[in-house]
A and B are shown apart, each in its own frame.
Chain A
Amino acid sequence: MKLLLSGLVTGLLFGFLLQKGRVLRYDKQLAALRLQDMTIVKFMLSTVVVGMVGLFLLYDQELVKLSIKPTILGANIVGGLIFGIGWGLVGYCPGTSLGALGEGRWDALWAIAGMVAGAGLFAEVYPLLTRTLLTWGDYGKITLPQVLGVNHWLLVVIFGLGALALFRWFEKKGL
């Protein structure tokens, strides 16, 4: 029960910030995919940079446990591309579709219905996928610091500087 409540409160805060950042809208998501307005990229990268610093500070104090998803090249690459194609059609992603509905963009209802149907479809073909795509290039739960053999803070700094350089470029180009 406590866990459900914490989920609700976390979602409330995140949904509030997504709406304030104006990233829930079809127009913003498609504008990013058409390389016209990078608002969603600015929002996402800011979240990641702050999240990274906070998480690894806590991680070094052993206050937080990481939750790494496995790297399976076949699944990540093919699944990622399929997701992107659907995303370009919908203009909302799974999380933002709920938020878009919250700010009144009710075409998100069609997308949500499609996502529930698609999830049911995935459950049907899952056994076939476990024998094919889900086994191609399975490297397990690997992280960049492991693969590169460097300290995580080096990568956090590089990521942060890269994000800052990108932000500067966006602002200069008016994106």
Chain B
Amino acid sequence: MQQRDGGWNPYLAGGLAGLVSVLSAWYSGMFFGASTTFVRAAGLIERLFMPERVAQLEYFVKTTPKIDWQWMFLVGILLGALLSAVTSRSFRWQALPDMWQERFGANSRALRAVAAFCGGVVLIFGARLADGCPSGHGLSGTMQLAVSGYISLVCFFAGGLLMARLIYRGR
């Protein structure tokens, strides 16, 4: 069962994650998702500087800036990954992913920062437009046999394949 990199078999880890998602839907009526939390976080931050503007914007009225189930779910993901990484000694404080460094060199921290930030802006915009991300559509949507889940998941991968091909062209 142990993999070469010390991790668990992905089928096993993924299957257990499926079990967790079923228990969550049963126990608290909540399905996995992530991207809405970034809207609530943006609203919470903006409210510190311009509360009137946040109160006016339709999207923040619809998605109230507050800490909810999904917010804590994401905090839990961070802590769970930290716990797993530390207890298995696979925690690594790393500025540049290995594959990125191979492509762009060790002096590409600024480029990585710009790419990750801009990519983050683009991907969350897409996720909010599509009304979900690989968690909300890709896992929760598809397991409920929602049409939107399948269409979105195919498009996530289509866009990703295209961008990966552009970045790593000829490699």
Give A residues with C-beta under 8 Å from B. 3-27, 30-31, 33-35, 39-40, 42-52, 54-55, 58, 63-73, 75-91, 93-108, 110-124, 126-127, 129-130, 133-134, 139, 141-145, 147, 152, 155-156, 167
- Can you sample 14 A-B contacts with CB below 8 Å? A6-B24, A14-B77, A15-B83, A16-B84, A19-B81, A20-B88, A22-B5, A78-B126, A97-B120, A104-B85, A104-B92, A115-B35, A123-B57, A156-B145
Give B residues with C-beta under 8 Å from A. 3, 5, 7-8, 10-32, 34-35, 37-39, 41-43, 45-46, 57-60, 67-85, 88, 90-100, 112-113, 115-168
Residue in contact with B77 in the complex, picked from A66, A98, A116, CB distance below 8 Å: A98
**If the complex has contacts A43-B14, A51-B22, A111-B116, are A104 and B131 also in contact, measured as CB distance less than 8 A?**
no
Which residues of chain B have C-beta atoms less than 8 A from A12's C-beta? 76-77, 79-80, 83
**If the complex has contacts A17-B20, A84-B161, A121-B121, are A99 and B27 also in contact, measured as CB distance less than 8 A?**
no
Alpha-carbon distance A85/B157, docked complex (angstroms): 9
Which residues of chain A have C-beta atoms less than 8 A from B164's C-beta? 30, 33-34, 88
Alpha-carbon distance A90/B123, docked complex (angstroms): 8
Report B151 CB to chain A, min CB distance, Å.
5
Alpha-carbon distance A165/B43, docked complex (angstroms): 44
Alpha-carbon distance A66/B118, docked complex (angstroms): 34
Alpha-carbon distance A27/B24, docked complex (angstroms): 29
A-B contact sample (10 more), CB < 8 A, given A46-B12, A88-B163, A90-B123: A14-B73, A18-B81, A33-B164, A42-B14, A43-B11, A50-B22, A85-B160, A88-B160, A101-B81, A122-B129
Which residues of chain B have C-beta atoms less than 8 A from A101's C-beta? 78, 81
Which residues of chain A have C-beta atoms less than 8 A from B28's C-beta? 3, 6-7, 10
